């Protein structure tokens, strides 16, 4: 996976990772994985996925 962050966001992330975890090898990956999991827990619940699927089906029917 490849992601692009603004310079400011990357700087803040790296500083926070060093402050919280110490900056050992793998700490940045661990912090990003933790953040992605939290985002998924908040946003990718079943209700949101079902709403998205319904929108996709509605949109595809309108295009026909």
Q: Give the start-to-end residue ranges of the domains of the chain.
A: 8-63
Mean pLDDT score, 8-15? 97
C-alpha–C-alpha distance, residues 8 and 56, integer Å = 35
- Contacts of 49-58 spanning 24+ positions with Cβ under 8 A: none
pTM recorded for the entire structure: 0.64
Q: Is pLDDT of 64 > 70? A: no
Q: Is pLDDT of 45 > 90? A: no
Closest-CA residue to 59 (of 44, 9, 51): 51
């Amino acid at each position: 996976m490849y992601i692009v962050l603004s310079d400011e966001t990357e700087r803040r992330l790296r500083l926070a990772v060093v402050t919280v975890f110490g900056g050992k090898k793998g700490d940045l990956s661990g912090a990003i994985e933790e953040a992605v999991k939290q985002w998924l827990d908040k946003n990718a619940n079943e209700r949101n996925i079902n709403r998205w699927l319904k929108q996709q089906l509605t949109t595809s029917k309108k295009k026909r």
